[in-house]
Amino acid sequence: MGSLGAILKNPDDFYPLLKLKMAARNAEKQIPPEPHWAFCYTMLHKVSRSFALVIQQLGTELRNAVCIFYLVLRALDTVEDDTSIETDVKVPILIAFHRHIYDRDWHFSCGTKEYKVLMDQFHHVSTAFLELGKNYQEAIEDITKRMGAGMAKFICKEVETIDDYDEYCHYVAGLVGLGLSKLFHASGSEDLAPDDLSNSMGLFLQKTNIIRDYLEDINEIPKSRMFWPRQIWSKYVNKLEDLKYEENSVKAVQCLNDMVTNALMHAEDCLTYMAALRDPPIFRFCAIPQIMAIGTLALCYNNIEVFRGVVKMRRGLTAKVIDRTTTMADVYGAFFDFASMLESKVDKNDPNATKALSRLEAIQKTCRESGLLSKSRKSYIVKDESGYGSTMIIVLVIMVSIIFSYLSASHQNN
């Protein structure tokens, strides 16, 4: 649950946070009893709690396929991310990974913390994979093969141009979008979405993560991970790592804004993709991360803190997104709000201001022309909440204390 200070500052976060906490408890109770499936869903909760919550809304068959798809690609990503693995060892593993998922005995020790557990006990994932329907298996194998080959290519190649950047993001995330579209289609719930739209769904999320994770990636030990394209950052500094130094703050923010502006080009495709979805659980599964992405971009834009620490949406706002997102009208409303928030941060003197404003106006226009924007909807744009008095604060403190006591007692009894 969010910190008490954050809740007191944003009292309307309380109810969505409570619902999120209860949903997390329910999700943990629904972990299957079979050892291999129990491992997979437990691991899913550990490597991505938010994803584990959203996936619970899917039907059992599709949920299992998406869970295994996610863990297979997370394992593949763990191999790619481990900078301690020598290239001559790493590349063959990436290229052959699609075959390893059929081998119940295969594992490879790498990564840290929960990712090391995933890799050491990968046989559980393979066992579960082999219980999926053939159509799901084929979709997962195809995407894993293509992604592994793409990752291997970029182990030996730097991200120089914007085309390289788009190609890299396609391999590590666009293919996830294509794979999910295949799984949705295989379940019989959705038509097969066009590849370009599926690709944009992945690129929008991946580019947001690459922007947000600049400092973590550049400080990676024993070797930095550098995904920002030279074609962009070389306009501002001589070396990518120079962006983190205080004396380069002005150039760093300009470069950051350039990167965010690049990511925004995928937003309209994402709206088109989501508007075509028919199945409500699949819609929510797709929509919540996309809203989180544009919300994160709004926070990162023109924000020097990206180069100083971690910039992310507060947990209460995340809870609101999860609670409020049920229809396409909710998505249009959220995209409009966060685009407006981002627009308010654009400095007219920024080198990319014109391009950024143009892309934001296009997003806002799409949302308006949908005819689904309601004036009575709840806005994500932060308003002055100083009107909450001491009485409200005292009530909230008491309520939080009671809820925490209840949840702790329930947890101990279970």
Instruction: Decide: 394 and 354 in contact? Cβ < 8 Å.
Output: no
**Count of CB atoms within 10 A of residue 168's CB?**
23
Dmax (CA) for the chain in angstroms is: 64
Q: For residue 336, give Cα distances in angstroms to 115, 365, 374, 376.
A: 36, 9, 11, 14
**Structure tokens given for 207:** 């580019």
Reply yes or no on whether 335 is catalytic. Answer: no
Instruction: Decide: 114 and 47 in contact? Cβ < 8 Å.
Output: yes
CA distance 1 to 177: 30
Choose the catalytic residue: 51, 165, 168, 301. 168
**Exposed/middle/buried for residue 411 (C-beta within 10 Å: 0-12, 13-18, 19+):** exposed
**Count of CB atoms within 10 A of residue 107's CB?**
18
Reply yes or no on whether 285 is catalytic. Answer: yes
What is the DSSP code (8-state) at residue 92? Answer: H
Choose the catalytic residue: 104, 146, 225, 377. 225
CA distance 289 to 304: 24
Reply yes or no on whether 168 is catalytic. Answer: yes
Instruction: Decide: 335 and 363 in contact? Cβ < 8 Å.
Output: yes
**Structure tokens given for 60:** 């059992």
| Sign of the alpha-carbon torsion through 375, 379, 385, 391 | positive
Q: Where are the beta strands (DSSP E) in 153-255?
A: none
**Count of CB atoms within 10 A of residue 321's CB?**
21
Choose the catalytic residue: 285, 307, 336, 380. 285
Dihedral of CA atoms 277, 282, 283, 284 in degrees, nearest 10, equals 180
Q: ∠333-174-114 over CA atoms, to 5°?
A: 95
Query: What are the residues whose beta carbons fall under 8 Å from the beta carbon of 287, sequence distance 6 or more?
Result: 274, 325, 328, 330, 331
What is the DSSP code (8-state) at residue 173? Answer: I
Instruction: Decide: 276 and 193 in contact? Cβ < 8 Å.
Output: yes
Choose the catalytic residue: 63, 74, 212, 284. 212
Reply yes or no on whether 212 is catalytic. Answer: yes
The catalytic residues are: 168, 212, 225, 285
